[in-house]
Amino acid sequence: MTASRVLVVEDEAMIAMLLETYLEGMDCDVVAVAGNVQEAVRMATQLQFDFALLDINLNGQKAHALPGILLRLKKPFAFVTGYGEQGILDAYATAPVVKKPFDESSILLAVKSLKKACTEASSQQTAG
């Protein structure tokens, strides 16, 4: 099985670095880290990746458009978020949520479910 390609949307460099470190150990390649909304939208629409980890509050800017974009692109995603985003979490209730601060096991749980979503999506495509 090839490594999953992951897009990380996170504005805090050190938190992004932690995600990368964890993801490396979970058979994942981080294809890019987006630190602001514009970058995130550009990367989501232009890069090749399997799933995404999303922080919504990017330095005070809210990446509220991003989940909808990823949904249209049929890319599974999980929220990695601090606080005060309940509205958007409820709107995309099927996406896994990792609350900050997080440890390796909670990221692993989300990654497992995202990998499963990817597999299901690709088998559906093959079937269709």
Partner 1 sequence: MRAPVFLCHRQAYSQIAEFRIAAAQGCNKLAGQDAVRVDKLTDDALQRDAEVSYAQFRALANTIPNLAWMAHPDGWIFWYNRRWYEYTGTTPEEMAGWGWQSVHHPDRLPEVLEHWTRALSDGKSFELVFPLKGADGIYRPFLTRMEALRENGVIVGWFGSNTEITEQERARERLQMLINELNHRVKNTLATIISIAAHTFRKPAGDSVETFQKRVLALASVHDVLTRENWTEAPLQDIVANAIAHCGIENFDVSGPPVKLAPRIASAMAMTLHELCTNAVKHGALTVPGGRLSIKWTVETASRVPLLKFVWREHGGQRVAAPSSKGFGLKLIERSLASDMDAKVDLKFEPGGLVFETSIPLAAEILK
Residues that bind partner 1 (CB under 8 A): 11-18, 21, 33, 35, 57, 59-61, 82-84, 99-103
Nearer to partner 1, 70 or 98 (CB): 98
Least Å from the CB of residue 115 to partner 1: 22
Least Å from the CB of residue 122 to partner 1: 31
Give 33-82 as a DSSP string: EE-SHHHHHHHHHHS--SEEEE-SEETTEE-TTHHHHHHHTT--EEEEE-
d(CA 107, CA 23): 8
Nearer to partner 1, 18 or 26 (CB): 18
Least Å from the CB of residue 28 to partner 1: 16
Q: For the chain, what is the radius of gyration of the CA atoms?
A: 14
